[in-house]
Amino acid sequence: MVPIQTRLRKVPPEREREEAAVPEVIERLISRGPPAGSGIPFEAWRSWHHYGFIACPASKRRHTCSDHCCRMGADCRELRALGLKGNCMPLPRKERPICGARNRQGKPCGVRVEPGKRRCRFHGGLSTGPKTTAGRAKIAVAQRRRWSAFRAARGEAVPVNRIEPRIVPHEPDPDLLADAQRLDGRSPDEHGQRRKLSGNVRRDRQ
């Protein structure tokens, strides 16, 4: 019978050999590449086997993901909620999630979402959002108000170092208005007369 001390001395070298063989097995697995037709990118395949996580494609590579259900980004759950595949290509319409917005009957909408959006084409899925500077500023102010109300409802402290900018409408030049009143003989109203008078001033100055 082999003493216990002898068996304990034999265990560490065996473990060392096993641990030394693991990187070789991983490198061989990585060199084979992902299975054909799986849709898994090679970078995600290598990162998953090296580190156990990948750069999430839904976060534009800013966050990591270790969820096995995402299949190394090929079937990203966050992208699937937006009607997209792991490579950001649109899913077939039948595979996209439903919109879920409340329709006119007060029931959840059953139309499929638009690719890259969480709503269908009837509930804002085709909206591009604000593109002008003024439109983006209005959205930013509305978001700050919503978050302030949300924090106040939860009893959290609202940050006071963030000053809410006011959106001041564009005011015409007072000198230009004075010239317009002098030339036209009447004050401009709010229904398009400013443009007409401004044109008269420009023609008069020319």
Residue 176 and residue 198 in contact, taking contact as beta carbons nearer than 8 Å: yes
Strand, coil or helix: what is 113? coil
Mean per-residue pLDDT over the chain, rounded:
76
Residues with Cβ within 8 Å of residue 86, at least 6 apart in sequence: 39, 40, 57, 70, 71, 73, 74, 75, 76, 79
Assign 6 a pLDDT band (cuts: 50, 70, 90): low
pLDDT value, residue 171: 55
pLDDT digit string, tens, across residues 51-106: 888 888 888 767 888 888 888 888 888 899 999 988 889 999 999 999 999 998 99
CA distance 47 to 54: 6
**Mean pLDDT, rounded, for 97-121:** 93
pLDDT value, residue 115: 93
Q: Which two tokens stand for residue 30?
A: 């990585």
pLDDT digit string, tens, across residues 11-62: 566 677 777 777 888 888 888 888 888 888 888 888 888 888 888 888 876 7
Output the CA–CA distances (angstroms, integers) from residue 18 to 11, 13, 14, 32, in the order listed.
11, 9, 6, 21
CA distance 56 to 23: 25
Residue 72 and residue 63 in contact, taking contact as beta carbons nearer than 8 Å: no
CA distance 158 to 7: 65
Alpha helix segments (H runs only) across the chain: 4-32, 42-51, 77-81, 133-153, 174-184, 193-205
What residue spans define the domains of the chain?
A: 90-147
Assign 159 a pLDDT band (cuts: 50, 70, 90): low
